[in-house]
Structure 1
Amino acid sequence: MTNPNAFSFGASENYWARVTTPEYQAEKRAKEAAMEAEHRRMIEAHQREQHRQAVMSQAGPAILDIVHQYLGQNRPAVSSAVKAQFLERLPGATEIEFNNALEVLEQSGHIHKLVSSTQGYMGERTYHLYPNPLEG
């Protein structure tokens, strides 16, 4: 035996009356605003990641080039001076990106970092950077 009320369930409910209520409309706008904000956040995060990858792909060669320029002029490649030139050369780059790139270069053996015998401002340690002599 089939249920005679099976297809009439909810038929007495007025769909448009529920959809046009202010509470439903406010809830719908809040959901749309949250989805739009999340979409904008994801786009901005993707753009920041692309920018970071672009800087990091150019950071290593830029640092090596700056160090070679200093050594070509018979001047020590002091890390603070290299950092300043790096930030000028790559607009939008940050000191953190410089430090990360320098650490990667040091770990991979492309650059050697030696503590300078002279101290910087207020006893700050300064480092001299030297490229790997086997890389030419």
Structure 2
Amino acid sequence: MTNNAFSFGATETDFWARQMDPKYQAQRAAEKEAKDAEQRRMIQAYQAEQQRQAVMSSAGPAILDLIQGYLNRNTPAVARNVEADFVERLPGTTPADFRTALEYLKQAGSVHELVSSTQGFMGEKTTHLYPLGD
């Protein structure tokens, strides 16, 4: 007898008995559910990454534009004011997005964050943002 793909199920004597076994069906259902859950998780992670990249691609120029706008009005670009304007200007963003984008800009050498030497209300220090380069 030849052993090929077409005769595999026919030669196995307990194939259908195993297929109809409730334990085997439960195991297959659990495996399918785990696979589906992992696929949903991967899709959500991918969508979150796409949203983060979209925010970052628009966040850097937006932050630089906000800083330049403050400096054009001869007012200091205080970080918390720029953050508030950023969250208002880009719907769906959070202060954490602003901080992340600002860190990327600082690492890239596009923005300098200067901490004020004077203390404000309850010892709070003010930070000013300055564009570097062009």
| Offset, 1:80 | 0.6
Which structure has the larger Rg over C-alpha atoms?
1
User: Given the superposition, is the C-alpha separation of residues 42 and 102 from structure 1 closer, same or farther in structure 2, using an over 3 Å criterion?
Assistant: same
For residue 114 of structure 1, give the secondary structure of its aligned residue in structure 2.
Answer: strand
The amino acid that maps onto 1:115 is V
User: Given the superposition, is the C-alpha separation of residues 34 and 12 from structure 1 closer, same or farther in structure 2, using an over 3 Å criterion?
Assistant: closer
TM-score, structure 2 length as denominator?
0.82
Match of 1:46 in 2: 46
- Aligned equivalents of 1:12, 1:35: Cα separation in 2: 27
Structure 2: runs of 5 or more not aligned: 1-6
Structure 1: runs of 5 or more not aligned: 1-6
Q: Number of matched residues?
A: 126
The runs of 4+ residues in structure 1 deviating greater than 6 Å are: none
Counterparts of 1:16-95 in structure 2 under 5 Å? Answer: 16-95=16-95
TM-score, structure 1 length as denominator?
0.81
Percent of pairs with identical residues? 56
- Aligned equivalents of 1:78, 1:91: Cα separation in 2: 21
| Offset, 1:41 | 0.3
User: Given the superposition, is the C-alpha separation of residues 120 and 24 from structure 1 closer, same or farther in structure 2, using an over 3 Å criterion?
Assistant: farther
| Offset, 1:119 | 2.8
* Aligned-residue CA RMSD (Å): 2.1
